Amino acid sequence: MTQSIRYASASETGLDGPDQVLPADVDTTCNVDGKVRIKLDSNELNSYMPVSIPGVLTRTAKLYSDHIALVSAPDANGKRTTYTFQEYESIVKTVAKAFLKLGLERYHSVCIMGFNSPEWFITELATIYAGGLATGIYTTNSPEACQYCAEHSRANIIVVEDEKQLQKILQIKHNLPHLKAIVQYDGKPTEKNILSWNDLLNIGKTESEDKLSYVLKTIAVNECCILVYTSGTVGNPKAVMLNHDNILHGIRAVTSTLQIKEKSEVIVSYLPLSHVAAQLIDVIANIMLATTVCFADSGALKGTLLNTLLVAQPTIFLGVPRVWEKIYEKMQEKAKNNGVIKTWIAKWAKAQGLHYYTNKINGIDYKHWGYVFAKWLVFDKVKTALGLNKCHMFITAAAPLNIDIKKYFLSLDVSILDVYGMSESTGPHTITDCKEYNLHSVGRPMSGVYTKLDNIDEHGEGEVCMSGRHIFMGYLNAPEKTEEAKDKNGWLHSGDLGKFDSKGNLFITGRIKELIITSGGENVAPYNIEQSILSELPYLSNVMAVGDKRKYLTVLVTLKSNINEETGAPLDTLTPDVLKWAQSIGSSAKTITEVISSRDVAIYEEINEAIKRSNMQAVSNAQKVQKFEILPHDFSIPTGELGPTLKLKKNVVQKMYADLIDKMYE
């Protein structure tokens, strides 16, 4: 960073909020009431004077008062409720007044548990207006995990969606000394002393503006306003402290990089709001850019998302890899029912799409007649069927998306942009450049952020480190963990290994903590090996490499199986495409149990051959996989192998299948 650095000047009275900066002489803090300096430099985006989240909503409500801000999911009668920005801000203030009346104290939290809804958004912003810490809790959390977050953040108020989430809180509320009120926003609470959403609104409506006006004057942009609990794979989750400037700078950087315009975008909200990506794109971008947010119903991730897409017609669509995989699987299934002519046309069109994008990747952006005709004949119709015909930006985030799935969508004129970042960088740090598309990289650093590689090895790989106004304040009450993540110069150490190409594109090559060091002392990054095997055999759902401190590499694999739509748990039955493949290679197995119990020769041999093909790409013998085992069921959240953001908990899998792993080394 060679830019000339200065700091945003502090308020003299401390009562110039909410857009004020309070005095600070540090860049990192773990204290709940801590303040940090805000660095300004000559880079255009970093020269912006900081503003607050309430300040942004007030501005948008004035500028675009009648523009539709939120559209709820349909109620029992199929009716959707809409909120203009003026109505939205008014309700936020009403709820903020109610929170203050119920006893919300400065630097205490309001915990929110529920599926995406206008009430979730309103609760988050009302908490910030009232000087509290907005804290999302995953709906998949156990009562014990909820207790940790509520206790750690000193929750004064907990807002839950329904009876199911309420029961978790009732089990643990006697362990929450700071808790003063519980609100249930959907339906009428049957338990006593639980407030309904209407009760909350009525409390706020009878309160004067005085207390809220005073609190807003004391708020500062360099104080924490949102806590994001990371779904840590070991021990209790860490609470990432984000201030107003972190969050708004993140949106400013995304907007500048992707050239998003105000009052022109439609977003569908369905990904967990406890995760930083959804908070940023759904809640904060909405108030900053005057987007319209349409809410999916709670079955979105179980198959009803398409209904919302068809109604909402989003212009920007963000999906985690599992969502793109599900869309891909559904499209593959549908394609199998096409007749010969339709199949031929689709194959021809996809070849045109891939040809166009392959040229574009190589610097030739020319729309040849085949692509133009295929777009009219096939691509536009496919997008219309998915409700994505108005969508100009398709994004994947939170984990890597399989290259073959990216290529499939590319062949249908859907170029999926990669976003790379973490909760500690308030979400995105790099984004794929739309104009210079690249299949394998996670794009380039956004405008107004800084990136470096630390401890670079002979291959040009090093730890990805990030800096800028979007970097978190610290982990709440965890100075040692904060020091591990954020160094004294303000660089966030991601724990990811990466390298840059000559055009400045970043490639993530593995995780430092996931590096396998064999007993022969060779470092092996498992990610590329796992992806290579998956590419060789698409009927596998997951591949996990094992081999730390062992003589050789092995892998655990799962076959694609059907899912219980209610619980999200994997079933024993194989998916239709896996069944068809199994039959084609001479297997009669219909379940995973049958495959494993009979050690199905055909299936085991096909997996073995896929591993052999993958091994041909290995740069050394230490990187070759020697053995494998099929696991009895696929990975999922209910069975414990995946965290709430669908990241694989490798340490959990290793404990679960320790005996099976040991067997491969006998």
- Rounded to whole angstroms, the Cα distance separating 159 from 289 reads 27
Q: How many CB atoms lie within 10 A of CB 196?
A: 15
pLDDT tens sequence across 388-428: 999 999 999 988 888 889 999 999 999 999 999 999 999 99
Residue 236 has pLDDT above 90, yes or no: no
Q: How many CB atoms lie within 10 A of CB 524?
A: 22
User: Residue 396: CB partners within 8 Å, gap ≥ 6?
Assistant: 318, 319, 320, 321, 324, 416, 417, 418, 419
Type of residue numbered 117 = S
Type of residue numbered 127 = T
- Rounded to whole angstroms, the Cα distance separating 629 from 286 reads 47
Which domains, from first to last, does the chain contain? 53-219+260-306 (3.40.50.12780), 316-511 (3.40.50.12780), 516-665 (3.30.300.30)
| Global confidence as pTM | 0.90
Catalogue the long-range contacts made by 509-512 (C-beta closer than 8 Å, 24 or more residues apart).
509/461, 512/463
Residue 1 has pLDDT above 60, yes or no: no
Burial 37-66 (b: 16+ CB within 10 A, else e): bbbbbeeebbeeebbbbbbbbbebbeebee
pLDDT tens sequence across 473-513: 999 999 999 999 999 999 999 999 999 999 999 999 888 88
Residue with structure tokens 């519980």? Answer: 182
Q: How far is CA 326 from the centre of its chain?
A: 16
Angle between helices 53-63 and 85-101 (to 10 degrees): 140
Closest to 130 measured CA to CA, from 204, 194, 182: 204
Q: Are 495 and 513 in contact (CB under 8 A)?
A: yes
pLDDT tens sequence across 154-168: 999 999 999 999 999
Average pLDDT, the chain: 94
Q: How far is CA 391 from the centre of its chain?
A: 19
| Share of residues in the chain with pLDDT > 70 (%) | 99
Q: Are 172 and 143 in contact (CB under 8 A)?
A: yes
Residue 43 has pLDDT above 60, yes or no: yes
Q: Are 416 and 406 in contact (CB under 8 A)?
A: yes
pLDDT tens sequence across 602-631: 999 999 999 999 999 988 888 999 999 999
Angle between helices 576-584 and 321-335 (to 10 degrees): 60
pLDDT tens sequence across 170-210: 999 999 999 999 999 999 999 999 999 999 999 999 999 99
Tokens found for residue 291:
């987007």
DSSP string covering 585-624:
TT----BHHHHHHTT-HHHHHHHHHHHHHHHTT-SSGGGS
Q: How far is CA 639 from the centre of its chain?
A: 20
pLDDT tens sequence across 548-604: 989 999 999 999 999 998 888 999 999 999 999 999 999 999 999 999 999 999 999
Which pLDDT score is estimated for 537?
A: 95
Residue with structure tokens 């696991």? Answer: 631
- Rounded to whole angstroms, the Cα distance separating 163 from 158 reads 13
Tokens found for residue 295:
């809410």
Helix (H) or strand (E) holding 514: none
pLDDT tens sequence across 237-277: 999 999 999 999 999 999 988 889 999 999 999 999 999 99
Q: How confident is the model at residue 334 (pLDDT cuts 50, 70, 90)?
A: confident
